[in-house]
Amino acid sequence: MAVRLSSVRLSLVPVVGSVTRCDTGFPVDGALVTLAGIEAGSNGAGEFSFEGVQAGHYELRAEKVIDGELLVAELEVEVEADVDHDPYELCLAPDEDIPPPTLEIFTRKLEFNGTFRTVDDDSDIPTDGGDDTGEGNLFGTCEVSPVNQRSQTITLQSSASQCVDDEVRVQYDVTCVLLADNQTVQVTIRGRMWEGAGCGNEDLDTDESHDAIDTPAGEESTTGVHLGNDDEGGDTSDITLTWTNADGVLIELPNVTPENRRDVILAGEVSITDDDAPDSDEQGTFLVSERCLVDPFDRVDSFGWNACVDDEVRVELRGRCELARDNVGVNVKIEAFLFEGSTCVTDEQEDSASNEEIMAPCGGSCLPSSFALDVDNRGTDKASIRIDVSNNQQ
C-alpha cells in the first residue's frame, strides 16, 4: 500500500526595525539583534531586517558593547501572519537589572469608641445618700506597622472624669499587636481600679486583662469589660467598646536591595522513641539541617524531612518560609507529625504539633530562635524536636 506524505509550508513574516542610542538618538551600526533564535545585524543607518519569522510571541533584543559598556534593548513583540508590521524601534541603554514595582502596604489603624459606667458603692455608709455613679464616652486610636512598630499600647481617653466621688478611679489600656499576616490586629484590653482617699490614690484593688480579640483588616469588633472591687466592697466599672481595623498610612517600600534576599537556616535534632514494652525501647536521634531561600520575587519556600525508628515509628517535618511584607522578616512555620504502624511508610497519624514565628533579620550576628515541638502516641511512642532558626542575608 502506498503512503502519501503531505508537507505543510509555514507562513513566514518579514520583520524590520531600527536601533538607536537612548541618550543621543543616533543610529547604532553593528548591533546584534535577535528574534525567535535568529540573529541579524544593524547597518550604518541602524536598520535591521529578518526575511521571515514564524508567527508567534517573541522577545526582540538588540545589544552592543560601546566604549566598554554593554548597551541593550528588549521589546515584547507579537508577530502575526498576513499582517504588515510597522518597523520596530529599539533604543539601547546600559544593561541594568530592572527593579520590581514598589511594594505598597498600609499601616493598620484602629479607632476605639465606647462608653463606661463606674459605680462607687457606698452601701456601707447609711448616711452617705446612696451610691455615686460616673459615666461617659471612651475613645482612642492605635496604629501598628509591619515596618517599624508591630505593637502599641494606649490609654483610652474619656469625655468625663473616670474618678467617682473622689474615691474610685479606673483606667482602661488597649494593646494592639500586628499578627503574622500583617493585616490582622490582636486587641487586648486591660482594666484597673483604684479605691482610696482622693482620685490620686495608688491603692490598686483590681487589675484584669480581657481575652485577646483578633480583628481582620476591614472588620469591626465589639466587646464588653467588667471590673469588680471585691476587696473593698461593691465598686464596679463596665465598658462597651467598638473598633474597626482600617487602612492607615500608605507605606511605599523600596525596591529590592541585597538585604531583601533572605537565607533562613534551620538546624537541630529530632529524638524518636519507639515504646516496645515489655521489651526495651528503640531510640534514635537524627540531625536536621535545612534552609529556605526567599526574596521579593520568590516569596515562599518550603522543605520536608522525615526519619523512622525500628521500621515502625516515623516523624515527618514540614516547613514553610514566607518573606514578610517588610521584605526582611520571614514568617517561619514548622509542623511535626508522628506516624506509627507496621512499616516506615505508614500513614497512620498519631499526633501533630506546630510552631510559627516571624523571624527578624540577623544583622551579622544574633542568637537564633529555638522551635520546640513534642509529639507522642498517648504517652508511649514519642518524639522531641528542637530546631534553631536564624534569618540571614543571602
Residue 363 is predicted with a pLDDT of: 63
Which residue type occupies 257? T
Whether CATH 3.40.720.10 fits 12-94: no
Cell of 358: 516571624
- What are the residue ranges of helices labelled H in 18-139? none
- Residue whose C-alpha cell is 538618538: 25
| DSSP codes of every residue in 289-340 | EEEEEE-SSS-EEEEEEEEEETTTEEEEEEEEEEE-TTSS-EEEEEEEEEEE
CA separation, residue 333 to residues 44, 188, 315, 322, 370 (Å): 60, 24, 16, 9, 12
From the number of C-beta atoms within 10 Å of its C-beta (0-12, 13-18, 19+), residue 105 rates as buried
Q: Compute the distance between CA of residue 162 and CA of residue 117 in angstroms, rounded to an integer.
A: 9
Quick one: pLDDT at residue 6? Answer: 33
> How high is the pLDDT of residue 269?
94
Between CA 185 and CA 189, with CA 186 as vertex, the angle to 5 degrees is 130
pLDDT at 295: 81
Q: How far apart are CA 58 and CA 129, in angstroms?
A: 90
In angstroms, the Cα distances linking 147 to 322, 329, 333, 362 are: 16, 9, 21, 15
CA distance 221 to 356: 25
Query: Do 241 and 114 contact (CB within 8 A), yes or no?
Result: yes
Boundaries of CATH 2.60.40.1120 in the chain?
Answer: 12-94
Pick the closest to residue 236 from 225, 223, 252, 246 (CA basis): 225
Classify 28 as helix, strand or coil: coil
Q: 291, 283 in Cβ contact below 8 A?
A: no
Identify residue 49 by its one-letter amino acid code. S
The three-state secondary structure class of 149 is: strand
Here the contacts of 76-79 (C-beta below 8 Å, separation 24 or greater) are 77/15, 77/35, 79/13, 79/15, 79/36, 79/53, 79/54, 79/55
pLDDT digits (tens, 9 = 90+) for 280-292: 788 899 999 999 9
User: What is the predicted pLDDT for the residue at 254?
Assistant: 59
Answer for the pair 139, 242: CB distance below 8 angstroms, yes or no: no
- Cell readout for 184 is 490582622
Q: pLDDT tens digits for 68-111? A: 888 988 888 888 887 888 899 999 988 765 445 456 778 999 99
pLDDT value of position 126: 57
DSSP code, position 200? T
As a whole number of angstroms, the distance between CA 51 and CA 241 comes to 74
What confidence score (pLDDT) does residue 285 get? 92
pLDDT for res 34: 87
Task: Quote the CA–CA distance of 222 and 225 in Å, as a whole number.
Answer: 10
Q: What is the pLDDT along the chain (394 residues), one digit of tens a residue?
A: 333 333 333 467 889 999 999 988 999 999 999 887 788 999 999 999 998 887 777 778 899 988 888 898 888 888 888 788 889 999 998 876 544 545 677 899 999 999 999 988 776 665 555 678 889 999 999 999 877 788 999 999 998 888 888 888 999 999 999 987 788 999 999 999 888 888 888 888 889 999 999 999 999 999 999 998 766 668 889 999 999 999 999 877 655 566 778 889 999 999 999 887 777 788 899 999 999 988 877 788 999 999 999 888 999 999 999 988 777 889 999 999 999 888 888 888 999 999 988 888 876 556 788 899 999 987 688 999 999 999 988 7
Q: How far apart are CA 240 and CA 393, in angstroms?
A: 47
- The count of C-alpha atoms lying within 13 angstroms of the C-alpha of 150, restricted to the half-sphere facing its C-beta, is 14
Residue 8 has what DSSP assignment?
-
**pLDDT value at residue 8:** 34
pLDDT at 244: 97
Joined together, the cell numbers standing for residue 165 give: 466621688
Judge whether 107 and 143 are in contact, CB under 8 Å: yes
How far is residue 174's CA from residue 142's CA, in Å, rounded to a whole number? 8
pTM for the full model?
0.45
